[in-house]
Amino acid sequence: MTSLFVSHGAPTFALEPGLAGPALSQLGTELPRPTAVLVVSPHWMTQEVRVGLSEVPATIHDFRGFEPAMYELEYPAHGHPSLAKKALSLLDNAGWQPVADAQRGLDHGAWVPLTYLYPDASVPVFQVSLPASLDSQSAYQLGQVLAPLQEEGVLIVGSGSLTHNLYEVRWRDNNSAEYAKAFSQWVREAVLGNDQARLINTLALAPHAQRAHPTTEHFLPLLVALGAAGPDARGSVIEGGIEHGVLSMDSFIFRSA
């Protein structure tokens, strides 16, 4: 089984590939072609866990203040209602009390990285929301609950950002902040060391964790991906560098041992 954590950075990643874009495009050609992609993104946060059942999910431009070209971008992938219903069943059986959502489209946490992974939008996509009450342990458990979908050929993707302090973003200064580098290196070492306990406790243990993540929603999808890969998963790094001074774009692939 294989799952991914993808750093999607700022919405402008869709037009500014940097290091991460080509790396994700290459990865998309190397992975076995999935039946569908399930994305958990911080840009769909809900009280209860929700599952998108749309047959043709709209491209949601859930951002403001960017150049007009950003609002013209479309990612015309189909949904996969039957697999989404299996996700609902898994969540229901595990006591999560999920809600079906037939109207929800794809937020930029889903379609921006998929623009690189599967640029022709030929792989069906559906989303599972990020419950607002989630913490590190329950994010890992959410991935565990969704893991059986991989037996159906579903690629589970946690989309977030390895560091995400928007208060310190420097749009025209790409000198990397030391705290962002230190936090990213700590997480990288835990991934490469296959230390799941350390990863689950990152927000409590890692250097500069509070500064790297003033709020947790962009980190928790990493733990969803980790949980989906299983307790013996081996991790590897997809190099992404640091954009806008503070947004680490590293991504991780987890494979069952």
Tokens 């190397």 correspond to what residue? Answer: 30
Helix, strand, coil percent content, the chain, rounded in steps of 5: 40, 20, 40
> Where do the domains of the chain lie?
2-255
Q: Could you tell me where the beta strands, DSSP code E, fall in the chain?
A: 2-7, 36-46, 50-52, 99-101, 125-131, 154-160, 234-238, 242-243, 247-248, 251-255
pLDDT in tens, the chain (257 residues): 799 999 999 999 999 999 999 999 999 999 999 999 999 999 999 999 999 999 999 999 999 999 999 999 999 999 999 999 999 999 999 999 999 999 999 999 999 999 999 999 999 999 999 999 999 999 999 999 999 999 999 999 999 999 999 888 877 666 789 999 999 999 999 999 999 999 999 999 999 999 999 999 999 999 999 999 999 999 999 999 999 889 999 999 999 87
Under a CB-based contact definition with an 8 Å cutoff, are residues 141 and 89 in contact? no
Under a CB-based contact definition with an 8 Å cutoff, are residues 83 and 154 in contact? yes
Distance of alpha carbon 203 from alpha carbon 209, whole angstroms: 5
**Confidence (pLDDT) at 17:** 96
Tokens 């503070």 correspond to what residue? Answer: 246
Count of helices and strands (H, E) across the chain: 10, 10
**Confidence (pLDDT) at 95:** 98
Instruction: Find all residues with CB under 8 Å of 52, minimum gap 6, and list them.
Output: 79, 84, 101, 102, 104, 105, 106, 126, 127, 128
Under a CB-based contact definition with an 8 Å cutoff, are residues 127 and 158 in contact? no
Which of 3.40.830.10, 3.30.43.10, 3.50.50.60, 3.40.50.10580 is the CATH number of 2-255? 3.40.830.10
**Which pair of structure tokens corresponds to residue 153?**
């050929």
pTM of the model: 0.96
Under a CB-based contact definition with an 8 Å cutoff, are residues 162 and 248 in contact? yes
Check residue 214 and report its DSSP letter. Answer: S
